[in-house]
A and B are shown apart, each in its own frame.
Chain A
Amino acid sequence: VTDPGDIWVIAGLAWLGRADEARTAAASNLLALRRRGMVGMLPRLLRMLATFDLDEDRWADAAAEAEEGLEWCAELGQSGHRPELLALLATVNAWRGDDAACEQLSAEAVAEAEAHDTKWATLIASRARGLLALGRARYGQAAAIFAPIVDLPLSRGLRGPTLASLPDLVEALERVGLHEEAKERTAEFERRLTGTTDPRASPLTFRCRALTDLGPSAGQRYEQALEAHTNDRDAFVSARTKLLYGEWLRRSGYRLQARRQLEAALEVFETHGAAPWAARTRRELRASGMTMRPPRLSGTELTPAELRVAVLAAAGMPTRELCTQLFLSPKTIETHLGHIYRKLGVRNRAELAQRLPQE
C-alpha cells in the first residue's frame, strides 16, 4: 500500500521548526522515489521540499521544485497540489519583487484552492501579496493584507502563513504610525508563540519588541535580536532585522553604525536577488550619506530547469536517467550541463557535486 509514513515524519519535523532535518529527509525520499519510478508521489514531495527551501532562503531551489511539481501535476492529473505550488511560486516572486508574476500566481492559487478546499494554500498566496507590499514599502496595504491572515486562530508554527505574518504586520503597523496596535500585536505574537520550539521565535520576538520600543533601549533589543539570529541559519530573516536596526540607528544619529548594519543587509538581499529589499536598503544607505555603487547584477544564477538538472546530476544520476526523470532529450541535458558548468565555473560532475551545496 502507498505508504506516506515518511511524509508524516517529514511533516512532524517541519512543524517543530527542525527545517534542516525535514529538508534532508524530504530530499532523500524524493531521490528514492525518482530512482524507483514512483512518480505518483512526486508532486506531494516536491510541494513539501519547495516549502522547506522557501523557508530556508533557497529560493531558486524552491522555484525549481515548485515548477517541476506543477509539471508533474499536469502530467499525472494531480491538480490538488497546484494551489500550494502556485502560492509558493508567488512567494518567491514577492521576495524577488516581480509584482506582476506574484499577483498573477497568487490569484491563480486562490481560485484553484477554492475548488480543492485548500484554505491553507489561500493563506500562503495572500501572504505572498502582503510580503510584496511590505518589500515595496506600501505599508498600509501590507497591514490590510496581513491582518485577516493573522487573525485566524490557526498555526503551523512559525513556518506557517498565520503566525509568520505577525512580525510582518507589526513592522507595517509601526511604519504607518499605528504604534499602539503594533504593541498589541507584539504581545499577541509572544502569547501565540507559547510552546514553540522554532529557533526563529526568539529573534523575531526581539525584533518586534525593538520595532515597538520608542525609547533608546530599542537598540539593545535589536542587538538581542541579532544575537538570537546566530542560532538560526536564516540569513534573509536576519538581514531584515539588520535593515530595521540600520534604519533605527540612522534616525537616531548613529550614521556609521547604521551603515555597517545596512551594508551587511544589502549584501544578503543582493545575493538572494531580493530586489525590493535591496532597493529599500540602498535608499537608507543614501540617506546615511553614502555614495552607492550600482546594483550588482547576477548573471550566474541558474534557471529553474538548469537547477533541476544540476541537483540530480550532482547526486550522481547518469544522463540516461536524467532524460527519463525530466522528460528531456540527451542533447538538452548536455546543453543544460554546459550552461551549468560555465555559470558555476566547474568542469565536471564531481566538481559540480562539491560546488552545488555552496550555491
Chain B
Amino acid sequence: MFAAADAAWLAGDATRANRILDEALASNCDDGLRGRMLYLRGYSEYAAGSLRRAADLYHQAAGFLSADPELAGRALSEAVLAGWWAGDASQMLDDASRLQALAETSPTVGAYARRAAGMALMFCERADQGAPLIEHAVAERPRPGQ
C-alpha cells in the first residue's frame, strides 16, 4: 500500500495517495511502515496544507523510524525546511539538533545533519558557523543507501 501511495504521489495524484495513506494509517501496521506512511503524509501536507502540520507529521514519522535512521533523518531534514518556510528559526534549530542525535548512524545521516545544522545556523544569521557546514555537506552529496 505504501508503494502504491508513493507512486500515486509522484504521478501527481495526491488525493489517491492521501486516501491510501489514511486507510493504511487507520489499520494496524508495524512502526517502520507507519513511519514511512507518516513521512509521505507529511510531504503531502507540505505541498497542500499547513507547514506546521507537515512538521508535526515529520516529527511523528521520525519517532516511528528508529530502525531506519536514514529515513528518519530525511523526515527531520524536511521538518527543518518546513521551519525555514514558516520563518521559524527555533524550530529549525530544534529539528537540526534532533537530527544531530542521529548523525553517527551513517555517513549519509551525518551529512543530512550537517546540512540541516548549517541551514538553521545561517537562518539565525550565524553564517560564519553555518556556511562551512553546508559547504561540507554539499561536497559530500550523499545518495540514499550510500
A residues touching B (Cβ–Cβ < 8 Å)?
Answer: 1-5, 8-9, 11-13, 15-16, 37-44, 72, 75-81, 84, 115-123, 152-157, 192-197
Contact = CB atoms under 8 A, between A and B. Distances in A.
B79 interface: no
B135 to A, nearest CB: 6
Given A5-B142, A119-B85, A156-B123, 18 more contacts: A1-B40, A4-B43, A8-B115, A11-B81, A15-B119, A40-B10, A78-B14, A84-B85, A116-B49, A117-B51, A120-B86, A153-B89, A154-B87, A154-B125, A155-B124, A157-B127, A192-B125, A195-B128
B126 A80 contact: no
A8 B77 contact: yes
B131 A16 contact: yes
The 3 closest A-B pairs by CB, nearest first: A195-B128, A119-B87, A195-B127
Contacts of B78: 4
A85 B77 CA distance: 22
Contacts of A122: 87
B105 interface: no
B138 interface: yes
Contacts of A15: 118-119, 122, 131, 134
Contacts of B135: 16, 197
Interface string B40-67: 1001011111111000000000000000
Interface in B98-138: 112, 115, 118-119, 122-131, 134-135, 137-138
A157 B125 CA distance: 8
A78 B54 CA distance: 13
Given A1-B71, A15-B122, A155-B125, A116 B138 contact: no
A262 B61 CA distance: 57
Contact of A1 (B36, B49, B85): B36
B10 A41 contact: yes
Contacts of A77: 14-15, 48
Contacts of A16: 131, 134-135, 138
15 contacts: A1-B40, A3-B74, A12-B119, A12-B134, A15-B119, A40-B9, A40-B14, A75-B12, A77-B14, A80-B49, A155-B127, A192-B125, A193-B127, A195-B131, A197-B127
